[in-house]
Amino acid sequence: MASDRVIVVDYDAGNLRSVARALEHVGAAPVVSADPADIDAAGAIVLPGVGAAEDTMFKLRERNLVEPLTEYIASGRPFLGVCMGLHALLERSDEGGGQDCLGILPGEARRFIPQPGLKVPHMGWNTVEWLREHPVTEGIPTGSYFYFVHSYYPTVSDPALALGETAYAVTFPSVLASGYLVATQFHPEKSSRHGLRLYENFVRWARSGEPVPAPSAAVAR
């Protein structure tokens, strides 16, 4: 990457500090920032997130981060979205009666429909099955457990975007990947050794400049 700076985007996300600590643990030196200039100069970006889509989008707009983030992603540099950081990339979320998101990836976040024996929110450990090889999943066996906390799940119109999938009420794409963009529905920072390995893989991949693995769906511009 052009710069070794890993920026964790600061919009008051609840998991902001735990994400930064996880990145430090795997050898990165993350900078927590809401400064658009830092985003523009970043070598890699992590967009964390917990909570509601409406609050997330309000904060991103309030801090004038929407345009810098969309321009950064369009530039083809490494980007990792986590939980709400995934939902923010979609076109829309059903949460709160409907919320327009960044529109980077073609899809929506939909609420789980409660079923007998399945609680909403989906909270706890669940498996992720890899659908293809990717640098961020290297060394992590398919079917590994990761920690989830969410009431809404992503759907995408292009199946090629799905890197991993999870079953809970429905089977949904729990990891999306396109070009140098990756996003997880689960929380790697709460997912023990496999989560730390994913962060380590992301940082190594960002630094190495390795080519994007095929197939790779196009990111909306």
Amino acid sitting at position 166: T
User: b/e for 105-126, b at 16 or more Cβ within 10 A?
Assistant: bbbbbbebeeeeeeeeebeeeb
- Contact criterion met (CB below 8 Å) for 69 and 80: no
DSSP state of 28: -
Could you list the active site residues? 83, 187, 189
- Contact criterion met (CB below 8 Å) for 98 and 90: no
- Residue in this structure with the two tokens 């292009």, named with its chain if needed: 158
* Residue closest to 129 by CA, chosen among 111, 112, 143: 143
